[in-house]
């Protein structure tokens, strides 16, 4: 398994403007890279990490065992506000979301996230849930598959791929990642197969998002997280594809403006809920791109609570 390298680490920590005595939340604990960087900045402050993946909790807890001011909660970040209230935490000094799949989820073949390894189709971040990628490709209707591939993967050939899945699964169940890769390749025009990039990438992304309900959860979780912030506290979000980034951009834009009907001579007597710390996304430096391939698609947005 490859070493976990946190993306946009320096930029994120600098933008969080960390208070050494503050309370911080890592909504996507993963390998614990961002969490450790925050903990190094704290004195009598504390950091609580959330992750729905049991393996991530185990890895991060072991990595961060030397920090007495850290503890982890296994749950989806959409439930963070309620779980924090259970331990009498109602306002915090900073929050980070590092979205997407952790490196170890891609690197462990048995998790079924990657088209690079042949293993059972899975893609569940929460291994206690029943819905998996195998369930979707073997039981969802043609229309449902097309919708998933097009909306979540922006796959131009969604219909051809869905049609081929329906045909092949009637012959035998689609069990493994390589079964699905072969079906995708068989459905695509030859000119597409010769293009740069893996032909199954968009479909695998779409299935992962569908299995884990990522986009529907994200918008709600962002709004709940912003409500947790103290005045002047900051929230940082790292996204890895346009669908995630668009949700973040739209939520932040709406909360950073006061909606006044056009043409009315009104001077607003209140501030917007948040301020955009960076109006343009922050991307990885050339130096980071050389050492961390995962950083190529990463975008950082940071807001501050008013």
Q: How many CA atoms lie within 13 A of 166 on its CB side?
A: 13
DSSP 8-state class, residue 145 = H
* pLDDT given for residue 1 in this prediction: 46
Count the domains in the chain.
Answer: 2
The predicted model scores a pTM of 0.91
Residues with Cβ within 8 Å of residue 119, at least 6 apart in sequence: 109, 110, 111, 112, 176, 177
**Cα–Cα separations (whole angstroms), residue 95 to 25, 47, 48, 65, 125:** 5, 10, 10, 21, 21
Q: CATH number, domain at 81?
A: 3.40.50.150
In this structure, the answer to whether residues 83 and 151 fall within a common structural domain is: no
CATH of residue 194: 1.10.150.170
Domain boundary among 169, 186, 212: 212
Cα–Cα separations (whole angstroms), residue 184 to 122, 149, 159, 281: 17, 11, 11, 33
In a domain, 109, yes or no: no
The pLDDT value given to residue 82: 98
Residue 2 lies in a domain: no
Q: Among 212, 240, 273, where does a domain finish?
A: 212
Indicate the residue among 183, 212, 241 that finishes a domain.
Answer: 212
User: Which residue matches tokens 């996204």?
Assistant: 239
Cα 182 to the chain's mean position, in Å?
27
Q: Supply the pLDDT for residue 294.
A: 83
Residue 203 lies in a domain: yes
Does residue 46 form part of some domain? yes
What CA–CA distance (Å, rounded) separates 124 from 135?
11
* Whether residue 221 sits in one domain with residue 202: no
> Domain span at residue 31?
9-98+214-305
Rounded Cα distance between 259 and 155, Å, is 35
Q: In the prediction, which pLDDT does 104 show? A: 64
Structure tokens at 78: 């959409």
Q: At what angle are helices 177-187 and 158-171 packed, to 10 degrees?
A: 130
Q: What pLDDT score was predicted for residue 109?
A: 77
**What pLDDT is recorded for position 262?**
67
Q: Which residues of the chain have pLDDT under 70?
A: 1-4, 103-105, 260-269
Query: Are residue 34 and residue 179 in the same domain, yes or no?
Result: no
Report how far residue 242's alpha carbon sits from residue 298's, in angstroms, rounded to the nearest whole number: 10
Torsion of CA 69, 75, 81, 86, to 10 degrees: -70
């Amino acid at each position: 398994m490859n070493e976990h390298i946190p993306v946009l680490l320096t930029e994120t920590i600098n933008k969080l403007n960390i208070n050494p005595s503050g309370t911080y939340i890592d909504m996507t604990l993963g390998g614990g890279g961002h969490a450790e960087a925050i903990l190094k900045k704290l004195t009598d402050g504390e950091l609580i990490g959330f992750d729905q993946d049991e393996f991530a909790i185990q890895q991060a807890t072991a990595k961060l065992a030397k920090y007495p001011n850290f503890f982890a909660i296994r749950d989806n970040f959409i439930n963070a506000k309620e779980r924090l209230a259970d331990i009498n935490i109602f306002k915090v000094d900073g929050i980070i979301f590092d979205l997407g799949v952790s490196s170890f989820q891609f690197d462990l073949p048995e998790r079924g996230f990657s088209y690079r390894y042949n293993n059972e189709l899975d893609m569940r971040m929460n291994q206690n849930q029943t819905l998996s990628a195998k369930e979707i490709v073997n039981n969802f209707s043609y229309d449902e598959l097309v919708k998933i591939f097009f909306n979540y993967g922006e796959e131009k050939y969604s219909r051809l791929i869905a049609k081929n899945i329906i045909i092949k699964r009637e012959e035998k169940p689609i069990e493994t990642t390589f079964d699905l890769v072969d079906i995708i390749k068989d459905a695509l025009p030859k000119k597409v197969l010769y293009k740069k990039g893996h032909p199954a990438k968009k479909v695998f992304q779409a299935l992962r998002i569908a299995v884990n309900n990522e986009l529907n959860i994200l918008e709600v979780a962002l709004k709940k997280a912003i409500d947790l912030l103290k005045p002047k506290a900051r929230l940082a979000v790292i996204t890895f594809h346009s669908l995630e980034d668009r949700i973040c951009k739209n939520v932040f834009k709406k909360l950073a403006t006061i909606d006044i009907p056009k043409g009315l001579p009104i001077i607003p007597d209140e501030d917007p809920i948040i301020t955009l710390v960076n109006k343009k996304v922050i991307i990885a430096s050339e130096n980071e791109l050389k050492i961390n391939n995962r950083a190529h698609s990463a975008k950082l947005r940071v807001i501050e609570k008013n």
